[in-house]
Chain A
Amino acid sequence: MKTLVKHSLALFTLITTLGSMPSSAETAQAGKYRIDPAHTSVLFTVSHLGFSHLTGRFNTTEGKLVLDPRGKSSVEVMIKTSSIDTNHKKRDRHLRSPDFLNARLYPVIRFTSTKVTYNDKGEPIKVLGDLTLHGVTRQVTLDVTPVGAGKDPWGGYRAGYKAHTVIKRSDYGMNFMQGGIGNDIRIDLNIEAIKQ
């Protein structure tokens, strides 16, 4: 009897979990979303002396999305500059210094969209916007790939996206050690957002 109850509970859990799993085929509902910082990561990759590529991340991100293929859409992402993490404390400290990010003077990296392009299914595929980094604002295009959307196990509604772009740090006035540290920086965003 005990085993039967145990198996029934396990089956119930499996069914309810599967039922609330996001569907990769589902297009995210139109609406306002808030970026979930706990499930969002901002990664960057840069060449080191031409030998290898170093990947780092920013640990504190917040923002909001307004998705509406037929109306006005927007994306706003704010990244805390001092939350840079390259798995090396000393290097992180150097990256925060005036040599690179000057985190004291420029505490926030901000992306504000100016145009969101959707595909035929109503999924965002390109986001054009202004990236403000190191006190300089320049236009960049994020190539977006929808990952999944649907109800979460807690009754909310979530949508997830991958996005990437490549910037030149010299465009943002970060020219120090150009010979050793690459000028091109690839930025990858993994965003999970909760519908409000």
Chain B
Amino acid sequence: MAHLAFCQVRLLNGNAMKTLLQLMMPAVVLPVLLSFGAHRLGQRHRNALWTLPAIWLPSYVWLNGWPQLPSREANDWLWLVALVSTLTASLLRQRKYVMAAQIVLLVTALSAMVWPLRHLIDATMAAELLATLTAGSLSFYRPAVRTTVPALGLAVSASGLGLVASLGGSLLIGQLAVALAAVLSAFALSELSSRGGGRGMDAVFLMPLLQLYFLLLMIARIYADLAVGPAFLLLSAPLVGLLTPHRYGALGSAASASAAFAWLLITADSSSYY
């Protein structure tokens, strides 16, 4: 026991501590702080809610480095998607136009990310891309409700993706997903703790964050070989939360994300070697 304690202290010294901070700061601490700030701003200015994807961007740059221009890797497209998606959603007034624009953007982003591997596309990969597109399009199609539940559902799904991607292939994708979850969780918690229950969040504000979620999942599946079973469950996780018309939708997302995590634990070597 004493030996274990010694090891822990030893591991938290020097470079190990620096590494731990490097993992935690951009993925959790920074997005949570920025999200709390955005919520306070959002109570006075409704448009401040559009800043949620922008809050994710500093974490993205911290973790991924400055994106390459022109984009070389799938990750390099994410910042552009976040910006274009947010701009599109904030400039277009009517919900149906916002939805159409988000679907077009998802198709474009998926095509751009997979383009370098076009010679590898087979029936399986095509089916997976189609499934991602279908899930994304369905999740954009939302009735006009203002509640915190969809944000919570997506936060839970993104947390699941963070865990599964970190253990199942790419720590970077996992951290980017955790940063997304941190933004949403901090925002949802701020909402729930506000006097009078807060103003809720129009589902349309989630669209840019949903874009990022589905694209991160696709990158983890195609470029980091995330197992197909957990990937499918994670694909359905936000849908369950978003399409369930009552407040228990987030629990549905949690069930799907937990099943994905359990699948990974049972079928693959989930030990960490870091």
Confirm or deny: A55 has a beta carbon within 8 angstroms of a beta carbon on chain B.
no
Confirm or deny: B247 has a beta carbon within 8 angstroms of a beta carbon on chain A.
no
Confirm or deny: B173 has a beta carbon within 8 angstroms of a beta carbon on chain A.
yes
Select which of B116, B222, B225, B273 is within 8 A of A91 by beta carbon.
B273
What distance in Å separates the Cβ of B152 from its nearest Cβ neighbour in chain A?
29
Known A-B contacts A94-B169, A97-B169, A98-B223; the reply to A177 vs B116 at CB < 8 A is no
B223 A179 Cβ-Cβ under 8 A: no
Of A34-42, A61-69, A99-107, the stretch lying at the interface with chain B is A99-107
Confirm or deny: A180 has a beta carbon within 8 angstroms of a beta carbon on chain B.
yes
CB neighbours (8 Å) of B72 from chain A are 105, 135
Counting from the closest, the 8 A-B pairs by CB-CB distance are A180-B19, A97-B224, A97-B170, A50-B15, A179-B18, A99-B172, A179-B19, A49-B15
Q: Which of A90, A96, A173 has the most CB of B within 10 A?
A: A90
A94 B73 Cβ-Cβ under 8 A: no
A179 B172 Cβ-Cβ under 8 A: no
What distance in Å separates the Cβ of B196 from its nearest Cβ neighbour in chain A?
44
B224 A98 Cβ-Cβ under 8 A: yes
CB neighbours (8 Å) of A89 from chain B are 269
Select which of A91, A94, A179 is within 8 A of B170 by beta carbon.
A94
Question: What's the interface size class on A, roughly?
Answer: 20 to 34
Q: How far is the CA of A174 from the CA of B62 in the complex (A)?
A: 14
CB neighbours (8 Å) of B74 from chain A are 98, 105
Known A-B contacts A105-B73, A179-B19; the reply to A50 vs B224 at CB < 8 A is no
Q: How far is the CA of A102 from the CA of B73 in the complex (A)?
A: 9
A49 B16 Cβ-Cβ under 8 A: yes
Interface residues of B in 256-270 (CB under 8 A from A): 269
Report which B residues bind A (CB closer than 8 A): 14-16, 18-19, 22, 63, 65, 68, 72-75, 116-117, 120, 169-173, 219, 222-225, 269, 271, 273-274
Q: How far is the CA of A58 from the CA of B223 in the complex (A)?
A: 20
Confirm or deny: A176 has a beta carbon within 8 angstroms of a beta carbon on chain B.
yes
What is the predominant secondary structure among interface residues of chain B facing chain A? helix
What distance in Å separates the Cβ of A82 from its nearest Cβ neighbour in chain B?
10
Interface residues of A in 47-73 (CB under 8 A from B): 49-51
A98 B117 Cβ-Cβ under 8 A: no
Known A-B contacts A88-B273, A105-B116, A177-B22; the reply to A98 vs B73 at CB < 8 A is yes
Q: How far is the CA of A173 from the CA of B76 in the complex (A)?
A: 12
Closest to A49 in B: B15
Interface residues of A in 135-182 (CB under 8 A from B): 135, 173, 175-180
CB neighbours (8 Å) of B68 from chain A are 173
In the assembled complex, 5 residue pairs joining A and B whose CB atoms fall closer than 8 Å, in A order, are A49-B15, A96-B225, A97-B170, A177-B22, A180-B15
Confirm or deny: A93 has a beta carbon within 8 angstroms of a beta carbon on chain B.
yes
B222 A179 Cβ-Cβ under 8 A: no
Select which of A51, A88, A102, A178 is within 8 A of B223 by beta carbon.
A102
Select which of A88, A91, A180 is within 8 A of B16 by beta carbon.
A180
Known A-B contacts A105-B116, A179-B19; the reply to A98 vs B172 at CB < 8 A is yes
CB neighbours (8 Å) of B173 from chain A are 97-99
Q: How far is the CA of A50 from the CA of B19 in the complex (A)?
A: 11
What distance in Å separates the Cβ of B157 from its nearest Cβ neighbour in chain A?
21
A104 B171 Cβ-Cβ under 8 A: no
Select which of B16, B171, B219 is within 8 A of A94 by beta carbon.
B171
Q: How far is the CA of A187 from the CA of B40 in the complex (A)?
A: 52
Given contacts A177-B171, A178-B22, 7 further A-B pairs with CB under 8 A are A49-B16, A93-B169, A98-B170, A98-B173, A176-B171, A180-B19, A180-B274
CB neighbours (8 Å) of A91 from chain B are 273
Known A-B contacts A50-B14, A90-B273, A98-B173; the reply to A104 vs B222 at CB < 8 A is yes
A105 B223 Cβ-Cβ under 8 A: yes
The contact string, 1 if C-beta is below 8 Å from chain B, for chain A 10-22, is: 0000000000000
What distance in Å separates the Cβ of A53 from its nearest Cβ neighbour in chain B?
13
B16 A90 Cβ-Cβ under 8 A: no
Closest to A47 in B: B15
B171 A99 Cβ-Cβ under 8 A: yes
Select which of B16, B18, B116, B225 is within 8 A of A97 by beta carbon.
B225
Closest to A50 in B: B15
